[in-house]
């Protein structure tokens, strides 16, 4: 509906009737992607958190930061639990001396597993600090606050924000009262099992849904193509950080498009790679971006979602890139009915399909 599919289809059909060389096509790729390691024991993780007496917080998990902003999401989770500014949380580099027996950061589970482990550790620290907060509020304001609110770097009464103490002051008092300011969190994704022999079980904690529509134009003489437009809708629960998630979806789409259209593995008669370096193995560049890209994140509430209702954005949007492949095939068949496009859809592959 957002893409105007019916109108776009009519425009493409009209264009193709008038043009013999430049043919356009439309491709659609729906996605339903299960999230969890299908090897069930890998779905576990740990986190270690220390609150220092200056109020700063150090977090260690077994997750590996590789540009996907895992550390940012873990910091956001801890900041939300403790009611602190994001800048007050420092996520350390992963180290087996701090968090042992870590599962791989893979299968789109990095934020789910490590974020939940950090959440559990932070909630324990919050529980440790709550009695001290109640005591301080009583001493300072003479009021009994059974459930103080941790928010904006302060701890206060739920309905009277003027009754508040600074988080740093709270931590220092807790230290003087010999309250633990370090905590360990462990998380195991619940209710996962799968019998590979029988092909039965519950291998995924939840599913991610979405769809992509791509419009392309091919030159039937050279085999080259351009990506005119792409529309993506991606359901991701209650996003921890929408801008990070948008970047992940866009990047995964471009990666998937490259896999479908240019990343050809060429081997010789002995099986040796002939496309083993950047000069012979083409990947997408800035000029391969769609001329128009519309991405909409669809919030949703799901009982099976992960930390704070969020969902994974690592691998699922990679599949959206296949919409480009199907669009190229659609454009080919506007020139030659029954044309069979081989994967990946390089210019050579397109020319061969027209031969």
Residue 204: other Cβ atoms inside 10 A: 18
Give the tokens for residue 6.
Answer: 């019916």
Asked if 195 contacts 278 with a C-beta cutoff of 8 angstroms, the reply is: no
CA distance 206 to 311: 8
| 264 assigned to active site | no
Crossing angle of helices 322-335 and 5-18, in 10° steps, is 40
**Going along 136-181, which residue ranges are E strands?**
149-151, 154-156, 164-166
Q: CA separation (Å) from 227 to 15, 290, 291, 321, 324?
A: 16, 5, 6, 11, 8
Which entry of 69, 235, 264, 315 is annotated as an active-site residue? 315
**How, if at all, do strands 225-235 and 292-298 pair?**
parallel
Give the tokens for residue 327.
Answer: 């669009």
- Interior/surface letters 46-83, b for 16+ CB within 10 angstroms, e for the rest: bbbbbbeeebebbbbbbbbbeebbbbbbbbbbbbbbbb
Per-residue DSSP letter, 62? S
CA max distance for the chain: 87
Residue 142: other Cβ atoms inside 10 A: 8
Residue 188: other Cβ atoms inside 10 A: 13
CA distance 245 to 25: 28
Per-residue DSSP letter, 122? H
Where in the sequence numbering do the catalytic residues fall?
A: 315
């Amino acid at each position: 509906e957002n893409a105007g599919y019916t109108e776009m289809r009519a425009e493409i059909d009209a264009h193709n009737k008038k043009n013999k060389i430049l043919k356009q096509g439309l491709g659609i790729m729906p996605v339903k992607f299960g999230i969890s390691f299908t090897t069930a024991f890998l779905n576990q993780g740990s986190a270690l958190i220390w609150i220092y007496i200056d109020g700063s917080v150090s977090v260690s998990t077994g997750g590996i930061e590789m540009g996907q902003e895992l550390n940012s999401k873990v910091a956001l989770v801890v900041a939300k639990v403790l009611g602190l500014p994001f800048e007050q949380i420092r996520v350390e580099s992963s180290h087996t001396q701090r968090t042992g027996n870590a599962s791989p950061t893979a299968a789109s589970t990095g934020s789910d597993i490590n974020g939940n482990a950090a959440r559990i550790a932070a909630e324990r620290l919050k529980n440790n600090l709550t009695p001290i907060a109640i005591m301080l509020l009583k001493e300072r304001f003479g009021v009994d606050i059974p459930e103080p609110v941790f928010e904006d770097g302060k701890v206060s009464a739920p309905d009277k924000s003027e009754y508040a103490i600074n988080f740093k002051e709270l931590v220092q008092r807790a230290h003087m009262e010999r309250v633990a300011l370090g905590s360990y969190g462990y998380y195991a994704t619940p209710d996962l099992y799968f019998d590979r022999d029988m092909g039965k079980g519950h291998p995924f904690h939840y599913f991610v849904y979405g769809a992509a529509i791509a419009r392309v134009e091919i030159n039937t003489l050279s085999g080259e193509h351009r990506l005119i437009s792409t529309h993506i809708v991606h359901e991701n629960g209650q996003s921890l950080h929408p801008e990070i998630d948008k970047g992940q979806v866009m990047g995964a789409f471009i990666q998937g498009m490259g896999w479908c259209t240019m990343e050809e593995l060429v081997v010789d008669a002995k099986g040796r790679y002939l496309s083993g370096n950047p000069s012979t193995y083409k990947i997408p560049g800035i000029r391969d971006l769609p001329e128009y890209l519309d991405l909409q994140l669809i919030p949703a509430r799901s009982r099976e979602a992960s930390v704070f209702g969020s969902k994974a954005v690592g691998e699922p949007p990679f599949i959206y890139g296949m919409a480009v492949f199907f669009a190229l095939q659609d454009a080919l068949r506007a020139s030659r009915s029954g044309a069979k496009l081989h994967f990946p859809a390089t210019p050579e592959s397109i020319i061969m399909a027209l031969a």
